[in-house]
Amino acid sequence: MGRAQRGADHPAETRPGSARRRPLRRTAQLAGLALLVVPLTTGCSVEEVLRFGWPVGITPQAEAMRELWTWSAVAALVVGAVTWGAMLWAIAFHRKRKGDVDPPRQTQYNLPLEITFTVIPTIIVAVLFAFTVNVQNYVDTDSPEPDVRVDVTAFQWNWEFGYPETQAPDGQPVSTLGTTDTIPLLVLPTGRTIEFTQSSNDVIHSFFVPEFLFKRDVFPMPEVNDQDNVWQIDGIDREGAFVGRCAELCGAYHSMMNFEVRAISPELYDQWLGLRQQTNPITNAPYTAGEALEQLGCGQLCTPQAYTTYPFTTDRTQRSASLPVTSGS
């Protein structure tokens, strides 16, 4: 007896359901087991899984955004699981089987069902919108009296960080200028509110510290361009060195436009800022960001990690990413 005939002997309606459902149940059990075992065996913690690929944030704003991301992703997965389940259920149990003359019962134009399927997504979108607005308002809120103010100036292809409420030995506010040889160090205190005021000297750049879980475009002439170029963080939660980047394609050496955030305790930060307003007796010039940091003597935290952007050069006339080769080298 051929396969087709055997199928015809046992029409779909009379087949015992348990025999067909068993492989499905087994697949579901295996998938559930994999969901449990894979994170455990790869060393992922629940907290890490729930971040869905985001880095660990270091500001209260970052934490608020991470929570929004986590629960939005969980809600999306729940909706996905229900949708995939409904699709598989329809495919598995309501398909046209061999020997069937008519297609399965059609249920389109079911008004109550259509209304339900319109109302539920509308509610989901409204809830996501409300939570998003809430977090966005928090991230955009600026306190009138931040503890620290920093000016961020972007240019092709580097950064300058100024501390407007200070005075260096030359009478100008303390500033840290990234050059061909030195990655700019943005030294900041932990546990204090910080306000950033951004501006670009040429094209649009973007200030991005992955651990802040935040970036803001750096516009030339922000007032003329009607851009909100001031933003704040409630504080940095922990000490450390964090890479910062330009996140807006801004020209040939955009990818090299990195900086480094060094978060140190408020006490060390005050000492650092004090030093920057003095002359380094060894060089007879104002302390640079790196020199002042090393002077604090707090071990690895006070040792600049990234000294140079080699082979990147910010000399626009050179038209090459390599440093000039001097005779004899």
Nearer to Cu ion, 219 or 287 (CB): 219
CA dihedral 189, 190, 195, 200 (to 10 degrees): 60
- Cis peptide bond upstream of 157, omega within 30: yes
Closest contact distance (angstroms) between CB of 120 and Cu ion is 43
Q: Annotate each residue in 210-249 with x if it binds Cu ion (CB under 5 A) or - if it does not, as one string.
A: ------------------------------------x---
> At residue 185, what are phi and psi to the nearest 5 degrees?
-100, 120
Nearer to Cu ion, 174 or 246 (CB): 246
Please tell me whether residue 250 binds Cu ion under the rule CB under 5 A: yes
Nearer to Cu ion, 62 or 257 (CB): 257
Please tell me whether residue 293 binds Cu ion under the rule CB under 5 A: no
Please tell me whether residue 152 binds Cu ion under the rule CB under 5 A: no
H runs (alpha helix) in 94-165: 111-140
Nearer to Cu ion, 237 or 248 (CB): 248
- Cis peptide bond upstream of 311, omega within 30: yes
- Nearest in space to 187 (alpha carbons), one of 260, 133, 275: 260
Structure tokens at 54: 């985001």
Structure tokens at 13: 């309606």
Structure tokens at 308: 């140079």
Which region, judged by CB under 5 A, interacts with Cu ion, from 79-87, 191-199, 251-259, 308-316? Answer: 251-259
From candidates 66, 149, 205, 245, binder to Cu ion by CB under 5 A: 205
Contact 320, 313 (CB under 8 A): yes
Which region, judged by CB under 5 A, interacts with Cu ion, from 54-62, 163-171, 205-213, 225-233? Answer: 205-213
Nearer to Cu ion, 236 or 257 (CB): 257
Report the interface residues with Cu ion, using CB under 5 A: 205, 246, 250, 257
